[in-house]
Chains A and B, each alone.
Chain A
Amino acid sequence: MREILVRILAGVAVLWAAASLAFVVLQLLPSDPVQVIYGADSTVTPEMRDRIRAEYGLDLPVHQQYANFISRLVQGDLGESYQQRRSVVSIITSELGSTITMAVLAVGFAVTLAVLSALLTAGRRGFWRWLISGIELVAIATPAFWIGILLLTFFSFRWAIFPVMGDSSWRSLVLPVATLGLSLFGTLSQVMRQEMDMALEQPFALTARTRGLSEWALRWRHALRHALIPGLTISAEMFGALLGGAIITETVFGRPGLGRITLQAVRNQDIPVVIGVVLFAALVFVTINILVDLLYRLIDPRVQRAGA
């Protein structure tokens, strides 16, 4: 329990560091936020410039701005978007549902495929292993953008199975999830198979076989556990990265989500939104790391004993 508390405190420190770093970078940016707030379509008089600076607290001394920034953060206030004039928290929360749905489904898809392919092909040679390794390599080497366009071209434009317009049911999720999932699957599957290959050559595997355990049971009960540890680490990292937004997939399929928001904000230097997304991503990574540590204990009793 004490260990977890320490981890949480460390997490808070990471968040504070991320926030401070973001603030420093913001100060170092050469551009004038007023021009960003106003856009290029209108003339800004000096009086209007002053009014905007006051409205956003940009006229205060730097240390004052930092104090305000941190105290607002503690209260869960990430400020207001320069571009959308909405609060950053409401922007992130309104996009979050769609982002989580995509991330969960895509990681689930990738993990299922990877476990299946590892169980089927580890420690074996022949056509299937050759074929599945080939698919993994292609999935890793092909940019998500291109996978998405190819899937759309065949399954939406040519055969009209999964529409890209006028449908918001589960059908509209299939292609984006497949696109995201495929690009995760390649790496995950390779790592898990390698671990299983190694596990199957360990002395315990030989012992189990001499005990008369079937090949499937050996794979399923023993070798898979070995592969799950790195698998879990990679999946958790992927999931964390996906919560930061799947920029390309969201752009290709025109879906809402944090990735699209981030891209828009970076392009337009909508600083409050950029900082908000950075902090949110930091929060997600800290949380996921703590959760993964807990999960290790469930999967691998050795970790628990070492920790005790």
Chain B
Amino acid sequence: MRLGTRTTLLLATALVAAGSAQAQDAPSAGGILRVATFEPLCLDLNEGSSRNSQTAMQDVYDRLISKNLDGTFHPWIASAWEISEDGLTYTFTIRDGVIFHDATPLDAEAVRVNLQRWVDDKNAGGVPVASVAADGATVTLTLSEPYSPLLHDLSEPQLGLVSPTSMTEFSKEARCEGGPGVTAGSGPFRVAARAVGQSLTLERNPDYNWAPADAAHEGPAYLDGVELRFLAEDAVRVGAVESGQADIATVIPAIAVPAIEANSALQLLRTEQPGIPWSFWLNQSKAPLDDQRVREALRIGVDFAGLVQAVFLGTATPAYGAITPGIPWAYVPEFEGAWRFDAAAAQALLDEAGWVPGADGIRVKDGVRLALRDVSAVNWNNQQRELFAQGIQAGLQAIGVEYTRDVLDFASVDQIFNNNEYDIVDTSQAAGDPNLLFGAFFSTQTWAVSNTNWGFVNDPALDAALETGLHSADQDARAAAYREAQQIINDNAYLLPIANNQVLVAARSSVNGVIFHNSGQIGSYHGTWLAP
């Protein structure tokens, strides 16, 4: 079960090797990159933000700071920044000479307008912002309490900088629909055309001269443009890249991997999904999962590792911690193999907890059947999870647990969460910072305050570790805090992590310089080029 880390290392080496092989040829400029992917709904990320829109628009909107895959921060629109001793005041120096696509200068005032809008409209995504001010070439952001993931948040595509002129000149409706002249960022590509439901065409910004300090090259992008074609059907995206109609297809299903790997005209790019693995959040506010023995019985009562291999076909590893290998500095490889499938031990735990087999084989206690309701949202689901859940159902049936899984639309699951009518929530959460655990496990962060502590975990020791991780500015201290948090989560079986999934992208062999962003999605096309 140590395989997980080794696979990660091999993958990392493979990516580096691919990078150096490409470096032998000089990048050639020109060409349109055709990408088969999903549609962003709203092109103004402040109005309506989804992973699809963030990925599609990351090359249109620049951010203050760039976060490298290795977790380090680099200057971008902010040429420098300072953090006060108490961790409350962040002062950013704004780079000179940057202009938006609509010729508005990107100065300190423009940055302030963007940050203020984020505070006003989005409550700053939960960041405790006290004030935002601009003075000359600097922007000062003051917090009411220390919040160490701030730089990370500012590096995310969601906080892409939008031209203040377009904010005042166009309605939010027009900005959401977007289009040339309306959608105005400062990135290496600008919007050339949008056909809603069909495609989004980006063209090179010839003036671009402010790439992040960790970018592969300075100056404008190599590509003339990028055409994003929206094909929601897995088989069609794969077919498009296999037949050469697309250069890149995103979100490749595991089942298509062998054919792509065997095809010499294609390359399969993969990275670990950062964040919380695909897991079961276990509702501890009520019976039966308020009993730790039952939670532990679930963890060892099903052959999760075997199912991961059978269903994900080598595109995922069994998960044993609350953070995936996609955030290397917070991932704890020592947890691998922390528990193993043992149906007899699981049965013994359930016996001990007072659940005895009833007439139909399902266990009963005080006249109540051991039936667990798992709830997930349509948008969080995919075919593989569907298949996997069938395996779980069979496995749990064998130890006398009835398991049902309801996959519903978002508003329905919202209601079920509000009414506490579930035992399990299954999903994964993607983000490049382990502070994700705060929203998922801190005692106050329940669904009632729009966060995801679905388990109603209420553990002072865990709260303390998560708070240290949130407030400490020291990376080593943060890593230690999140390690402790994950240890507590495992010791008490607060979460049942299942699979660390990989993000899979297929590309034609002629495509070079594709990178991943630390959100686990495909990254900027600024350094991407097509071999002639």
Contact = CB atoms under 8 A, between A and B. Distances in A.
A209 B117 CA distance: 82
Interface stretch (A178-186, A189-197, A250-258, A282-290): A250-258
A88 B379 CA distance: 23
A94 B126 CA distance: 36
B265 interface: no
A162 B196 CA distance: 21
Interface residues of B, number: 48
Interface stretch (B133-141, B172-180, B207-215): B172-180
B20 interface: no
B196 A254 contact: no
Contacts of B392: none
A153 interface: yes
Given A42-B122, A45-B123, A165 B246 contact: yes
A160 B246 CA distance: 12
Interface in A1-44: 29-32, 35-36, 38-44
Contacts of B47: 85
B409 interface: yes
Interface stretch (B229-237, B320-328, B336-344, B366-374): B229-237
A166 B227 contact: yes
B245 A44 contact: no
Given A163-B245, A166-B229, 8 more contacts: A42-B122, A43-B123, A44-B123, A80-B173, A85-B176, A149-B235, A152-B236, A165-B229
Given A163-B245, A269-B410, A41 B49 contact: yes
Nearest to B126: A43
Given A85-B172, A257-B197, A268-B409, A35 B243 contact: no
B42 A85 contact: yes
A157 interface: yes
B41 interface: yes
A256 B195 contact: yes
A152 B238 CA distance: 12
A85 B53 CA distance: 15
B145 interface: no
B48 A256 contact: no
Given A44-B123, A48-B123, A166-B227, A157 B239 contact: yes
15 contacts: A31-B414, A35-B411, A38-B450, A39-B49, A41-B125, A85-B48, A85-B172, A86-B173, A156-B245, A160-B245, A168-B198, A253-B236, A266-B409, A267-B378, A267-B379
A83 interface: yes
B41 A83 contact: yes
Contacts of B411: 29, 31-32, 35-36, 268-269
B510 interface: no
A251 B233 contact: yes
Interface in A92-142: 94-95, 98
Nearest to A260: B197
Contacts of A267: 378-379, 409-410
Contact of B410 (A36, A43, A87, A158): A36
Given A40-B410, A85-B42, A165-B229, A94 B450 contact: no
Nearest to B229: A165
A164 B409 contact: no
A91 B38 CA distance: 19
B433 interface: no
A253 B449 CA distance: 40
5 smallest A-B Cβ distances: which pairs? A256-B197, A31-B411, A269-B411, A157-B243, A254-B231
B451 interface: yes
B239 A165 contact: no
A84 B240 contact: no
Which among A32, A48, A268 has the highest number of chain B CB atoms within 10 Å? A268
Contact of B414 (A35, A83, A149, A158): A35
Interface in B392-411: 409-411
A132 B489 CA distance: 64
B412 interface: yes
A219 to B, nearest CB: 42
A237 B231 CA distance: 29
A253 B47 CA distance: 28
B125 to A, nearest CB: 5
Interface string A209-234: 00000000000000000000000000
Contacts of B390: none
Which among B36, B173, B378 has the highest number of chain A CB atoms within 10 Å? B173
Contact of B242 (A42, A83, A157): A157
Contacts of A80: 173
